[in-house]
Structure formats: structure tokens, C-alpha cells
Amino acid sequence: MTHTARGFRAAVAAALATEHGRQAALRRLDADVYANSSRAPRDSLWATWVFVANAWGIPPVPVTEDTVRRVAAGLKAGGYRVPEQYFSRARQEHLRQVGSPIDAAAEQAMADCSRSVTRGIGPSSLKHSFPFEDLAPLAVWP
């Protein structure tokens, strides 16, 4: 973490004075787009999308209405609970690889398929509970 109260033009000029410095500044910017703690979950979401698309024998990108429907059917068959996370990750990857956003038909398919995948699955399992009073013997009173 870098603590800074304000920016300095002199630091900008020094950092961007050479091509090497410019490239280093871009690499640093790109490295911090997502937190380190979010890299594994993001990679997992994309790996699942790719896995399901491959199971259908289709490419994961470009994301089309057909791709969305097939991947959503796989997610539903596998008991996945939050398809929106996978759709969001697929949108990002499509934009990075194709260079344009997904089309309106694919967006609508995501909305429709989200409803279908989550219909009837009920709440997630509840955690075991206990009477709060059972903690009283463990409390330390001043």
C-alpha cells in the first residue's frame, strides 16, 4: 500500500519520461484493476464457463444467445445457484477478447436464463444454531 496525500506532476513526468517507464506504469495500472484476493474467484468463474462451453463442444467466446442458453443449461444441471456471476465474468471476457459488448439478444438470454436457473432451488442450507444462553458460562466478566 502506498500512502499519499496528493499527486505530484514531477513524479508523473519522471515515471513517463521513457518508454520503459510508460510500460511499467501501464503494467502497474493493469495489475491493480482487481484485488489479489479476487483473482482466484474470477479465474474460477471463467474456468467454469469454459468447462461448460467445452462440454457442449462450443467456444466460450464470443458470447451469443446460444452460448448463454447452453452454458445456463449446464449450470442449472449442475445445481449452480448464482448464474449472474458467471454471466458477468463472461461479459468481461467477451469484451476483452472480441472488443465489443455482447449483443441485446445475449443480454436478454442472460436475464431469462438467470430466472430459470434459480427457479425452485430454495434457500441455501442454514447453519446449525444453538441457544445464545449456552455462551454465558464462557463469558469473562470484569
For 54-91, how does the pLDDT look when each residue is reduced to its tens digit (9 = 90+)?
Answer: 999 999 999 999 999 999 999 999 999 999 999 999 99
pLDDT band at 137 (very low <50, low <70, confident <90, very high): confident
CB 117 within 8 A of CB 72: yes
The whole-number average pLDDT for the span 20-26 is 97
Contact between residue 86 and residue 80 where contact means Cβ atoms under 8 Å apart: yes
Furthest C-alpha separation in the chain: 66
Percent of the chain with pLDDT over 90: 79
Q: Is the pTM of this model over 0.85?
A: no
DSSP, res 59: -
> 122: pLDDT confidence band, cut at 50, 70 and 90?
confident
CB–CB of 25/16 below 8 Å? yes
